[in-house]
């Protein structure tokens, strides 16, 4: 963690904002954000935060992007945080403004994303009186945030903001909410910003890894004949991809990466098996079920990975778990070797003495399985296949793009067929599965990475939950390439109703959806459409040549399913392979 001085050593405004002069609470908030290194805030003003918005008037050092819905604002802040590794920040007013953030806070909390969410509230004297636009947002968000604050004393603002950024960005990262009554933002104080590391009672995120447990892990590896590494989002959040690659190459253990772990390990590497779980690859799922040593690294054994827990990894004599959160150890799967600590720190220590497993025969078996059981789909020269669209995007971008997704079939096709080369390249809602996430998160990712290609992959259902954020793309010329895999249905719902509910299709058709090309154009965004492979290649090339936002409506069949698939209640080796197998 950089020191405050080190973060701003060359910035002209730093000494000015650090002055111990008299300011309002709103000015203290803005100064504090600048000191914490915040470059961009996403939000929507309202009565309870107008003092804060007045304080950022004509302030070029702090960029603000006006969302069209609070959910769009917080998903944009989330995408910014995931894509950059920095803390994302958003503003909202009291009452409905604050409650509109709830889904986004829960999304970030489930996926361990560092956010600082600043909400306004009614004046202190009105708290608890059911005043106009009052909501107990700290009470509402307590179960879905890492921590939250209600500020009653203006003099506490700098200290609380400093602590909020520290809590959000250390240990198991997560969203922190600061609720500030309006009168607190107008009161005056002598500004003083704490520059030392906060000392918070009961919060000690710097866990020193237990060398004894690491030694046990290394001994288990040396004895293992069929080891597997399950790598998750924790590898990315701790910036430990380099250490993971070194660990894998020293130990010669094949790797499967969870949905949130995609990009943590290069997809082109011979030891990568793909994604595991409900829509995981045949090789990854079979390897998990037949391994004798399972090492989870920054993955929490989510139910979409393990499926039927009692039947998960039944041949694993030893399960090791590396995680920064002690609460995750043994929560889902019984763990023999707990390695509690930051993934980067644990792997660095392990790499000092790591030796190969007895895995050469196992690796030969894995490689044969990868050749014999690749991801498949039945291609067509007349109908446009969603898998082809993702493959085309992957090949033309050389796996270098930042890809955000919505939730459903579009998410799984992107995870399966885009070949991620780097960490922080897949931005997706994993734990909560939030529809509407894809477009606004892409805006945040692009703001944080202005020189990268950002592609937002959406279904025609999810895109309609936040299409209003197209206005941001147009106004700020944010050059996101917005892909819609348009099958005129809620695709994953239709797939489940076909496979699990015996073709009893109930309320999954999206008839009445807009013409997305016209909708894009109405917002001032270029709109394109493709219905077959030739058109798809043409419009994608055209989209890539346009220096600005583009929406591409790829019209696909309603009947296309995501395979492999494990039905709920099954073990991960009970895969439905589809018509292609």
pLDDT, tens digit, 9 for 90 and up, residues 16-36:
787 889 999 999 999 999 999
As given in the structure block, the two tokens for residue 127 are 């708290």
pLDDT tens digits, 237-277: 999 999 999 999 999 999 999 999 999 999 999 999 999 99
Predicted confidence at residue 260, as pLDDT, reads: 98
Structure tokens belonging to residue 62: 């702090």
Strands (E), 155-289: 175-181, 188-190, 227-231, 255-257
Task: Quote the percentage of the chain above a pLDDT of 90.
Answer: 94
Q: CATH: 3.40.50.970, 3.20.20.140, 3.40.50.1820, 3.40.50.700. Which one for 12-190? A: 3.40.50.970
The per-residue pLDDT for 7 is 63
- Residue 70 bears catalytic tag: yes
- Angle, vertex CA 88, rays to CA 479 and CA 5, nearest 5: 110
Structure token digits, residue 542: 């055209």
- 148 vs 118: CA distance, rounded Å: 10
The position carrying tokens 């995609």 is 262
Residues 1, 5, 11, 132: which is the catalytic one? Answer: 132
> Could you give the count of Cα atoms lying within 13 Å of 34 in the half-sphere of its Cβ?
23
Active-site pick, 86, 173, 182, 344: 182
> What's residue 18's pLDDT?
79
Known catalytic residue at 497: no
CATH of 211-373, one of 3.20.20.20, 3.40.50.1220, 2.40.50.40, 2.70.98.60: 3.40.50.1220
| 222 in Cβ contact with 285 (< 8 Å) | no
- Is the separation of the CB atoms in 94 and 45 below 8 Å? no
- The DSSP H or E segment spanning 294 is strand 293-297
Report, as ranges of residue numbers, the positions in the chain whose pLDDT lies below 50.
580-581
Contact of 222 with 88, CB cutoff 8 Å:
no
User: What are the structural domain ranges in the chain?
Assistant: 12-190, 211-373, 386-562
Q: End-to-end CA distance of the chain, in Å?
A: 50
Q: Which of 70, 243, 328, 560 is catalytic?
A: 70
| H helices present in 13-156, as ranges | 14-17, 25-35, 50-55, 70-84, 96-99, 102-110, 137-141
Q: Do domains 12-190 and 211-373 have the same CATH topology?
A: yes
Q: pLDDT by residue (tens digit) across 56-101?
A: 998 889 999 999 999 999 999 999 999 999 999 999 999 999 999 9
The confidence score (pLDDT) of residue 10 equals: 61
- Six token digits for residue 465: 């939950």
Long-range contacts of 50-53 (CB under 8 A, 24+ apart): 51/24, 51/25, 51/26, 51/182, 51/185, 51/186, 52/26, 52/91, 52/118, 52/120, 52/180, 52/185, 53/91
Q: CATH assignment of 386-562?
A: 3.40.50.970
* Choice among 18, 278, 435, 492 that is catalytic: 492
CA separation for the pair 333, 72 (Å, rounded): 36
Active-site residue, 12 included: no
Strands 526-530 and 481-486: unpaired
Residue 374, judged by CB atoms within 10 A of its CB (0-12, 13-18, 19+), counts as exposed
| Cα(138)–Cα(155) distance, integer angstroms | 20
- 498 catalytic per annotation: no
SS3 call for 430: coil
Per annotation, catalytic residue among 61, 133, 159, 468: 133
β-sheet bridge partners, residue 228: 294
Indicate if 182 belongs to the active site.
yes
Task: Tell me if 98 sits within 8 A of 179, measured CB to CB.
Answer: yes
Q: Spell out the SS3 assignment of 45-59.
A: CCHHHHHHHHHCCCC
pLDDT at 4: 64
């Amino acid at each position: 963690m950089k020191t405050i001085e080190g973060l701003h050593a060359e910035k002209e405004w730093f000494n000015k904002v650090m002055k111990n002069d008299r300011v309002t609470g709103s000015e203290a908030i803005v100064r504090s954000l600048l000191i914490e290194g915040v470059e961009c805030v996403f939000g929507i003003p309202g009565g309870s935060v107008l003092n804060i918005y007045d304080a950022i008037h004509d302030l070029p050092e702090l960029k603000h992007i006006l969302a069209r819905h609070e959910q769009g604002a917080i998903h944009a802040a989330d995408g910014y945080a995931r894509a950059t590794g920095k803390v994302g920040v958003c503003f909202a007013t009291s009452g409905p403004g604050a409650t509109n953030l709830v889904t986004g806070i829960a999304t970030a909390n489930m996926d361990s994303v560092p956010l600082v969410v600043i909400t306004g509230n009614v004046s202190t004297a009105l708290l608890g009186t059911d005043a106009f636009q009052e909501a107990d947002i700290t009470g509402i968000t307590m179960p879905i945030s890492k921590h939250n604050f209600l500020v009653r004393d203006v003099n506490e603002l700098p200290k609380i903001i400093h602590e909020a950024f520290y809590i959000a960005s250390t240990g198991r990262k997560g969203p922190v909410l600061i609720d500030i009554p309006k009168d607190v933002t107008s009161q005056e104080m002598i500004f003083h910003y704490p520059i030392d590391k906060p000392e918070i009672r009961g919060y000690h995120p710097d866990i020193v890894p237990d060398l004894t447990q690491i030694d046990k892990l290394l001994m288990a590896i040396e004895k293992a004949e069929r080891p597997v590494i399950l790598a998750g989002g924790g590898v990315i959040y701790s910036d430990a991809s380099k250490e993971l690659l070194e660990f894998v190459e020293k130990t010669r253990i094949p790797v499967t990466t969870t949905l949130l772990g995609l990009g943590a390990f290069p997809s082109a590497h011979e030891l990568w098996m793909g994604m595991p779980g409900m829509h995981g690859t045949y090789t990854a799922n079979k390897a998990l079920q037949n391994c004798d040593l399972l090492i989870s690294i920054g993955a929490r054994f989510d139910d979409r990975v393990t499926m039927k827990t009692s039947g998960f990894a039944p041949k694993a004599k030893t399960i090791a778990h590396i995680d920064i959160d002690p609460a995750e150890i043994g929560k889902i799967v019984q763990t023999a070797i707990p390695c509690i600590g930051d993934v980067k720190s644990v792997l660095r220590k392990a790499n000092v003495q790591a030796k190969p497993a007895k895995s050469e025969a196992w690796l030969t078996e894995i490689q044969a399985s990868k050749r014999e059981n690749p991801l498949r789909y039945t291609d067509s020269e007349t109908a446009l296949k969603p898998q082809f669209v993702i493959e085309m995007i992957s090949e033309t971008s050389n796996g270098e793009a930042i890809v955000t997704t919505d939730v459903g079939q579009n998410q799984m096709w992107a995870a399966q067929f885009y070949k991620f080369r780097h960490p922080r390249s897949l931005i997706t809602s994993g734990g909560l599965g939030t529809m509407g996430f894809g477009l606004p998160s892409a805006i945040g990712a692009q703001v944080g990475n202005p020189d990268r290609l950002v592609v937002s992959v959406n279904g025609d259902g999810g895109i309609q939950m936040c299409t209003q954020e197209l206005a941001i793309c147009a106004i700020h010329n944010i050059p996101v390439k917005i892909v819609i895999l348009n099958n005129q249905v809620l695709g994953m719902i239709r797939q489940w109703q076909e496979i699990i509910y015996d073709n009893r299709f109930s309320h999954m058709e999206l008839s009445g959806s807009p013409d997305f090309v016209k909708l894009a154009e109405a917002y001032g965004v270029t709109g394109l459409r493709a219905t077959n492979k030739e058109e798809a290649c043409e419009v994608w090339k055209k989209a890539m040549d346009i220096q600005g936002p583009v929406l591409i409506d790829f019209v696909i069949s309603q009947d296309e399913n995501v395979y492999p698939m494990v039905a709920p209640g099954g073990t991960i080796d009970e895969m439905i392979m589809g018509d292609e197998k």
